[in-house]
Amino acid sequence: AQKITQTQPGMFVQEKEAVTLDCTYDTSDPSYGLFWYKQPSSGEMIFLIYQGSYDQQNATEGRYSLNFQKARKSANLVISASQLGDSAMYFCAMREGNYGGATNKLIFGTGTLLAVQP
Amino acid sequence: NAGVTQTPKFQVLKTGQSMTLQCAQDMNHEYMSWYRQDPGMGLRLIHYSVGAGITDQGEVPNGYNVSRSTTEDFPLRLLSAAPSQTSVYFCASSYSFVAKDGYTFGSGTRLTVV
C-alpha cells in the first residue's frame, strides 16, 4: 500500500539559507510520481515540483530541487536561499498506478511547517 | 479559465443534515478527487474519479458519496453530517495520469458540523 512519511512536524531556517524537508515513501509499484506542495497560511495548495520514478535526473524548479534517492525511497525537497515568503506548510505526495487504470491515487504526507526567520 | 471552483466556501451544518459540496473544473481534466484536511493529519483522500462514470474510494470514504456524470463536475455528498466531518475539504484535478504539472486544487470548503 502507498505510504508517505514526513518526520519533521516543524522546522526553522534563517533567511537566505538552504533548507531540506524530508520525505520518505513506500510503494510496490514501479511506476509512481512524487509531488511537493506548499500551503501558506491563506490555505491554498500550490504545486512546487514533480519527480517521476523513471526520471534519471533530479527535478529542479527555480529555488526548489528534489533530492530523489530511489533505492532509499526518499524524495527530499531542498529550498535554496530561503525567503520570508517561504514560511508555510509543505506537503509531500505520491501518485501510483498504471495508465488508464482505476488505481490512480494521490496520497499526502502529514506535512512540515517551515518558519523562515529574518 | 476559472480552474477548479468549489462552492460553498464556508458551511455550518447541524448533525444529521445532508448537503452537497460542489466541485467544477473547466480544464477538461479527466482525474478529479476529494480530500479532507484536519490538523496534524495532512490531506486524506476521500473519493476519486479517473473519468466520467468512474469513481473509487480513497482512504476515508465512509459517510461520503460521489458521482461523476460529466467531465466537469465532481460533487461530494454528505449523507448524514456528523461532528467528525468538521474539516476543510479540497477538490483537486489533473489532466493526465502522469500529472507532471501537478494537480490543481480548489480553494477549499470549510465545513463545521454542530
| Residue of B68, B76, B71 whose CA lies nearest to B27 | B71
Using a CB–CB cutoff of 8 Å, tell me whether A11 touches chain B. Answer: no
Does the distance separating the beta carbons of A106 and B103 come in below 8 Å? yes
Q: How sure is the predictor about B45, in pLDDT bands with cuts at 50, 70 and 90? A: very high
- B54: CB partners within 8 A, 6+ apart: A102, B68
Q: How far apart are CA B82 and CA B11, in angstroms?
A: 13
- A42: CB partners within 8 A, 6+ apart: none
User: What does the pLDDT read at residue A102?
Assistant: 46
In chain A, % of residues over pLDDT 70: 92
Task: Read off the pLDDT of residues A53-71 as tens digits, 9 standing for 90 and up.
Answer: 999 999 999 999 999 999 9
Task: Read off the pLDDT of residues B47-95 as tens digits, 9 standing for 90 and up.
Answer: 999 899 999 999 999 999 999 999 999 999 999 999 999 999 999 999 8
Residue ranges of B 22-61 with Cβ closer than 8 A to chain A: 31, 33, 35, 40-45, 48, 50, 54, 56, 58-59
Whether the pLDDT of residue A78 is over 90: the answer is yes
Four-residue CA torsion sign, A50, B22, A100, A32: positive
Q: How far apart are the first and last CA of chain B?
A: 36
Cis peptide before B39 (omega within 30 of 0): no
Decide the pairing of beta strands A60-61 and B104-105. Answer: unpaired
User: What does the pLDDT read at residue B98?
Assistant: 74
Q: Cell triple for residue B103?
A: 494537480
Q: Which residues of A touch B87 (CB under 8 A)?
A: none
Q: How sure is the predictor about A100, in pLDDT bands with cuts at 50, 70 and 90? A: low
Average pLDDT on A16-22 reads 98
Task: Read off the pLDDT of residues B87-113 as tens digits, 9 standing for 90 and up.
Answer: 999 999 998 777 888 899 999 999 999
Average pLDDT, whole number, for chain A?
A: 92
Residue B103 is classified by DSSP as P
